[in-house]
Structure 1
Amino acid sequence: MTRKHPNLRVKLLRQLRPWHRRIGIVSTLLVIFIAITGVLINHSNHLSLDTAHVKQAWLLDYYGIKAPTDVALYQNSPQTLLSTANQLWLNDKLALEASGPILAAVTHNEMIVAIDSHHLYLLSPQGELFETQSLATGLPSDIEAIGQTDQLWLKTATGLYLADSDLIEWTATQPYAAIDWIKPVESTKTAEFAQQIRASHLSWERVLLDLHSGRVFGSLGPWLMDLVALSLLIMAFTGCYIWLQQKPAKRKKKV
């Protein structure tokens, strides 16, 4: 007797089973990874991941986040008050993004006052912006510096201006005593502050979101996630096919 060759269905099943197992193993690992990151993202508020800053230098380097080099410290206690370019920082929190480079900042009458060349910003001790003054509200133009005695002074290209007690009206006048013009304070902790600002630009929630979506892998990331979805579809179709082909055979054995 001549031995019969396996039919097409049996050949196909033999080919599908090992590939089904291989794809299943890889897909399982990826699904576990996506599930874990998804659970962490879902509970990021409870785990404080949205406010936890990434301090690992290699990860910050990977995201292209560099430490600022233009840190100007104006106050070290009771709170840290400093600026980088047009940003004002209160401790490690970004309090203000000004319209131009910040020239100086100072605490005056329980208010934080910051200036750029054309604006004055009033903030609460917690860093909440209360008011922005400009030429339209009567603020002198071409501001160069801010200083204080018992009151607040502005130095401009056209002269000196004194603020009233409510910091609303500005009057051109000359001082009777020397004005303490606000300048950056020298500190050995400037580099440490720069690293804190660098870390504040990236939270662990952002990293988890990028891992979950695949964006952390760059332009190939979305394609990787598409590959995961495709592998799951292949798993589903091949699994259903194998099960349907084996189901009649199992019924025959039971009879």
Structure 2
Amino acid sequence: MTRKHPSLRVKILRQLRPWHRRIGLFSTLLVIFIAVTGVLINHSNHLSLDSTQVKQAWLLDYYGIKAPTDVALYQTSPQTLLSTTNQLWLNDKLALEASEPILAAIAHKEMIVAIDSQHLYLLSAQGELFETQSLATGLPKDIEAIGQTDELWLKTATGLYLADSDLIEWTAAQPYAAIDWVKPIESPETAEFTQQMRASHLTWERVLLDLHSGRFFGSLGPWLMDLVALSLLIMAFTGVYIWLQQKPPRKKKTGLKEGPRS
């Protein structure tokens, strides 16, 4: 008795089924991953993910976010005021990006005043910039320092200048009392503030968006998303093929009509 060999259709089905299951498992995991990150992104505001900073050092390193250098701390109470290069920070939030490196900053009459060599910046106590002064507005040039007695003073390459009560006009003058020039203060909290500034550049919402889109994986991200799409297509085609091959054929009606009985 000769052994009956399986047909080509059966061989194809035997090969397709295990691969269909493997690809299905892989696709399911990726779809779950995309679905979970998508749901979290949709509710990031309610979950405060859009404002929660990433503090994990390895993740900040992965994004290439380094701790700022040249950190200068000016006050810690009632609010933390510090600068790094051309940025001014109020507590753990970026309040100002100056045109040039910031030389000093000071709280003055419910305002925050910051300077670089050619500009003076006026901010509210909440850190909102509302005025920028320059040479065009009458500000002295080549500023070197800022200080105060009861009034605000600027030290420049050409001398000292006193501000009026509205901080609009600057007049060359000599002080009647010693000026308290603003200088960075030494504090063990500086290192902690430095890490807070580093973490402020990255939120969990940003990480989730990058994971969801594939950007988190760099140049491999688009290929990963293509792999997901290709896996789903293969799943669809193999699933339809297997279903069609396993579908039982329709039985033809073989009943004959009986003639009229005599």
- TM-score under structure 2 normalisation? 0.92
Q: Confirm whether residue 212 of structure 1 aligns to residue 203 of structure 2.
A: no
Superimposed CA distance per residue, residues 54-83 of structure 1 (whole angstroms, 9 cap, x where no aligned partner): 111111111121112311001100000000
Given residue 193 of structure 2, which amino acid in structure 1 is its aligned partner?
Answer: F
Q: Confirm whether residue 227 of structure 1 aligns to residue 227 of structure 2.
A: yes
Contact 2:82 2:105 in 1 (8 A): yes
Q: CA deviation at 1:247?
A: 2.2
* Rounded Cα–Cα distance in structure 2 between residues aligned with 1:93 and 1:226: 38
Superimposed CA distance per residue, residues 193-251 of structure 1 (whole angstroms, 9 cap, x where no aligned partner): 101111111111111111111222221122112111110111111111111222244x5
Structure 2 equivalent of residue 108 of structure 1: 108
Q: CA deviation at 1:10?
A: 2.2
Q: CA deviation at 1:8?
A: 2.6
* Rounded Cα–Cα distance in structure 2 between residues aligned with 1:165 and 1:241: 84
* Rounded Cα–Cα distance in structure 2 between residues aligned with 1:237 and 1:138: 74
Given residue 123 of structure 1, which amino acid in structure 2 is its aligned partner?
Answer: L
Structure 1 equivalent of residue 44 of structure 2: 44
* Rounded Cα–Cα distance in structure 2 between residues aligned with 1:2 and 1:230: 43
* Rounded Cα–Cα distance in structure 2 between residues aligned with 1:144 and 1:161: 11
Local SS of the residue matching 1:105: strand
Superimposed CA distance per residue, residues 99-142 of structure 1 (whole angstroms, 9 cap, x where no aligned partner): 01000000111000000111111111111110111111111111
Query: Larger deviation: 42-51 or 217-226?
Result: 217-226
Contact 2:69 2:85 in 1 (8 A): no
Local SS of the residue matching 1:94: strand
Q: Which has the larger radius of gyration?
A: 2
Structure 2 unaligned spans of 5+: 255-262
Given residue 104 of structure 1, which amino acid in structure 2 is its aligned partner?
Answer: A
Q: CA RMSD in A?
A: 1.6
Local SS of the residue matching 2:247: helix
* Rounded Cα–Cα distance in structure 2 between residues aligned with 1:241 and 1:135: 77
Structure 2 equivalent of residue 8 of structure 1: 8
Local SS of the residue matching 2:74: strand
Query: Larger deviation: 211-220 or 187-196?
Result: 211-220
* Rounded Cα–Cα distance in structure 2 between residues aligned with 1:246 and 1:118: 80
Q: CA deviation at 1:4?
A: 4.3
Given residue 48 of structure 2, which amino acid in structure 1 is its aligned partner?
Answer: S
Q: Confirm whether residue 156 of structure 1 aligns to residue 156 of structure 2.
A: yes
Structure 2 equivalent of residue 71 of structure 1: 71
Structure 2 equivalent of residue 30 of structure 1: 30
* Rounded Cα–Cα distance in structure 2 between residues aligned with 1:62 and 1:68: 16
* Rounded Cα–Cα distance in structure 2 between residues aligned with 1:135 and 1:46: 46
Structure 2 equivalent of residue 93 of structure 1: 93
Structure 1 equivalent of residue 57 of structure 2: 57
Structure 2 equivalent of residue 127 of structure 1: 127
* Rounded Cα–Cα distance in structure 1 between residues aligned with 2:97 and 2:144: 18
Structure 2 equivalent of residue 179 of structure 1: 179
* Rounded Cα–Cα distance in structure 2 between residues aligned with 1:17 and 1:70: 62
Given residue 57 of structure 2, which amino acid in structure 1 is its aligned partner?
Answer: A
Query: Larger deviation: 145-154 or 9-18?
Result: 9-18
Structure 1 equivalent of residue 141 of structure 2: 141
* Rounded Cα–Cα distance in structure 2 between residues aligned with 1:45 and 1:203: 12
Query: Larger deviation: 199-208 or 240-249?
Result: 240-249
Q: Confirm whether residue 19 of structure 1 aligns to residue 19 of structure 2.
A: yes
Which structure has more helix as a fraction of its residues? 1
* Rounded Cα–Cα distance in structure 2 between residues aligned with 1:115 and 1:43: 40
Given residue 108 of structure 1, which amino acid in structure 2 is its aligned partner?
Answer: H
Please identify runs of 4+ aligned residues in structure 1 that moved more than 4 A: 1-4
Given residue 33 of structure 1, which amino acid in structure 2 is its aligned partner?
Answer: F
Given residue 244 of structure 1, which amino acid in structure 2 is its aligned partner?
Answer: L
Q: CA deviation at 1:2?
A: 4.2
* Rounded Cα–Cα distance in structure 2 between residues aligned with 1:126 and 1:229: 48
Q: Percent identity?
A: 88
- TM-score under structure 1 normalisation? 0.95
